[in-house]
A and B are shown apart, each in its own frame.
Chain A
Amino acid sequence: MSLKTAHEIAEAGIITEAGNAEEYKTGDWRTFVPQFVEENCIHCMFCWIWCPDSAIEIDTSGEKPLVTGIVLDHCKGCGICAHECPPAKKGKSALVMVREEK
């Protein structure tokens, strides 16, 4: 995304389009990254609800939504998804935080 000049941007930094936070990539803030362990996932959508960004990728084409992975462009590595994952409480987490090697 090329940056605009002072004369190409809206006065006062007002954002006039709704829902454009998706264009703001925060994936490079991360130290830890969640790894999706599909066989442990019960598709309860807790991670999707709790994620402060929009980093949980889901498939809504079927009858029930399915978690399919992590959107690394938006995941800041906060670990809330792994903390809230219900299977994790039984020792079989579907989201495991690991230190990301860059």
Chain B
Amino acid sequence: MKQELVALTGNDAVAYAFKQAKPHVASAFPITPQTEMMHKFAEFIANGEVDTEMILVESEHSAMSAAVGSCAAGARTITATSSAGFALMWEVLYIAASLRLPISMAVVNRALSGNINIHNDHSDAMGGRDAGWIQLYSENAQEAYDYGLMAFRIGEHPDVRLPVMVNYDGFIISHTADALYMLPDAAAYDFIGPYKPAYSLLDVENPITIGPLDLTDYYFEHKVSEMEAHNKAFEIVRAIHEEFGHLTGRTYDFFEAYRLDDAEIVLVILGSTAGTAKDVIDEYRERGVKVGMLKVRLFRPFPAAEIASALSGMKVVGVMDKSVSFGGWGGPVFTEIRSALYQSLNGMPPVHNWIYGLGGRDTDMNQIAEVIEALREIAQGKPMDPVNLLGVRL
């Protein structure tokens, strides 16, 4: 497939992807650094490039509520948010997933207040990791664009029917111009296809009730079907990754294994920091140090078996978390990875955690090197606390 090489910010790239999906409804409330994504999308509507009903609401709680109503009416629906806006959506995130409404949402990751901070970390999305949404994390504008397209296919698949978050780092990805390949509109829509809703509130021939009182007798059973939808999502995500790979030549998997085959020391990273880490890993490789990286793309559902299999036999694993679970033992990615590895008793490497980059603290190559140096010492038997902080004045 011939694709155009363009320079776009992450926000514009995702706006293009959403435009190519021809959503019926967009509902959104502005918040930095997401705002420019919906600005761009509104521009497409104003220019007649996409025929989407834009609902401007008074808060993110309303944005997600409007998205739920719209999607339940049978409309392909998009929204977007960041940080505090994400937090305000929180109650309705669960409702969207419980009602099995495949809303596609761009989450432009930003720190949570307080104190107020507009820069990137993953605190917002990690606060919604248990809400029942599929979570995809992007390293750059290309991945944000690609997942902006794939989100519709994954979420709307009849065996899945779950809402999907496309996560990309605020400012670092959202506001930085980056080179990426874009599919032509027709090819992108051919890939996504029209939305075939499972039910519609506007179908007066088949009236239904959604979201009724669900108490001790059936609530648990309904949660089971939601859990099973997440389990089924693995094979669907894999199949859509493959199909997208054939179409674009860009291969995707639940995670990217970067120089992992013969690695002894492994970093586990989500999002844009993975790009920085690749350069550091390349430098270490030139010096003969066997470092690799597992970059998690699909965090919900969490591909525990595949990750455990990729990491077992490694000498040491360093998990980097760009969010903190206050009072918890390490960050959310760390606890997940460690828990996954506990199953693989043949060769469970020591797993250490670094909390980094909170509130957008710059994470440069020196910091990544610091983690690699620490992991090398751990591999040689030096005792070290499992949970550590990186790039902060102590």
Q: With the chains together, A13 CA to B209 CA distance in Å?
A: 9
B138-146, B217-225, B333-341, B363-371: which lies at the A interface? B217-225
Q: State which residues 8-60 of B face A: CB under 8 Å.
A: none
Considering the complex, which residues of chain A in the window 74-91 have a beta carbon less than 8 Å from any beta carbon of chain B?
none
Q: Is the interface of A mostly helix, strand, loop or mixed?
A: loop
In the assembled complex, the Cα of A3 lies from the Cα of B207 at a distance in Å of 23
Taking a contact as CB atoms under 8 Å apart, the answer to whether A14 and B225 are in contact is: no
Residue B383, interface by CB 8 Å: no
**B206 / chain A contacts, CB cutoff of 8 Å:** 16
A16 contacts across to B, CB distance below 8 A = 206, 208
Main secondary structure of the interface of B (DSSP, over half): loop
The reply to whether A15 and B224 form a contact with Cβ atoms under 8 Å apart is no
Contact A9 B222 (CB under 8 A): yes
Contact B161 A11, beta carbon cutoff 8 Å:
yes
- B258 close to chain A: CB less than 8 A: no
- Chain A CB within 8 A of B392 CB: no
State the CA gap A9–B208 with chains docked (Å): 14
Interface residue? B310 (CB, 8 A): no
Q: Is B300 an interface residue (CB 8 A)?
A: no
Which of A3, A7, A11, A15 makes the CB contact (< 8 A) with B100? Answer: A11
B220, B221, B224 interface centre (most CB from chain A within 10 Å): B221
CA distance A46 to B220 in the complex (A): 39
Contact of A18 with B207 in the complex, beta carbons under 8 Å: yes
CB pair B199–A4 under 8 Å, yes or no, is no
Complex Cα gap A48–B161 (Å) = 42
Instruction: Output the nearest chain B residue to A1 by Cβ-Cβ distance.
Output: B217
B161 touches A13 (CB 8 A): no
Q: Counting chain A CB atoms within 10 Å of each CB, which of B98, B161, B214, B222 scores highest?
A: B222
Q: Please, which residue of chain A has its CB at the minimum distance from the CB of B158?
A: A11
In contact, A12 and B100 (Cβ under 8 angstroms): yes
Whether A9 contacts B99 by the Cβ 8 Å rule is no
Inter-subunit contact B207/A12 (CB<8 Å): no
- Residues of B within 8 Å of A12, CB to CB, are 98-100, 210, 222, 225
B271-314 interface with A by 8 A CB criterion = none
Q: Mark A1-45, 1 if CB is under 8 A from B, else 0.
A: 001111101011111101000000000000000000000000000
Q: Residues 176-212 of chain B: 1 if any A CB is under 8 Å from the residue's CB, otherwise 0?
A: 0000000000000000000000110000001111111
What's the least CB distance linking A26 to chain B, in Å? 11
Within 8 A of A (CB), among B202-252: 206-212, 214, 217-218, 220-222, 224-225, 228
C-alpha gap A5/B222 in the complex (Å): 9
Cβ contact within 8 Å between B208 and A13: no
Docked complex Cα distance between A12 and B200 (Å): 13
How far apart are the CA atoms of A54 and B212 in the complex, in Å? 18
Beta-carbon contact of B198 and A13 below 8 Å: no
Please give, as numbers and ranges, the residues of chain A lying within 8 Å of B209 by CB-CB distance.
Answer: 14-15
Query: B100 touching A4 by the CB < 8 A rule?
Result: no
Q: Which residue of A lies closest to B161 (CB)?
A: A11
| Residue pair A11, B211 in contact (C-beta under 8 Å) | no
CA distance A10 to B121 in the complex (A): 38
Contacts of B218 in A (CB 8 A): 3-4, 9, 13
Residues on B with C-beta less than 8 A from A4 are 218, 221
CB atoms of A9 and B221 under 8 A apart: yes
Most B CB contacts (10 A, CB to CB) among A3, A12, A14, A16 go to A12
| B207–A13 CB distance below 8 A | no
Q: Please indicate which of the listed interface residues A3, A9, A13 has the most CB atoms of chain B within 10 Å of its own CB.
A: A13
Can you name 14 extra interface pairs (CB under 8 A) apart from A6-B225, A9-B225, A13-B212?
A: A3-B217, A4-B221, A5-B221, A6-B220, A9-B218, A11-B100, A11-B225, A12-B98, A13-B218, A13-B222, A14-B199, A14-B210, A15-B210, A15-B212
Q: List 5 A-B contacts (CB under 8 A).
A: A9-B218, A12-B99, A12-B222, A13-B210, A14-B208
Residue ranges of A at the interface with B (Cβ–Cβ < 8 Å): 3-7, 9, 11-16, 18
The 7 closest A-B CB pairs, nearest first, are A6-B224, A15-B209, A6-B221, A12-B100, A13-B222, A12-B99, A14-B208
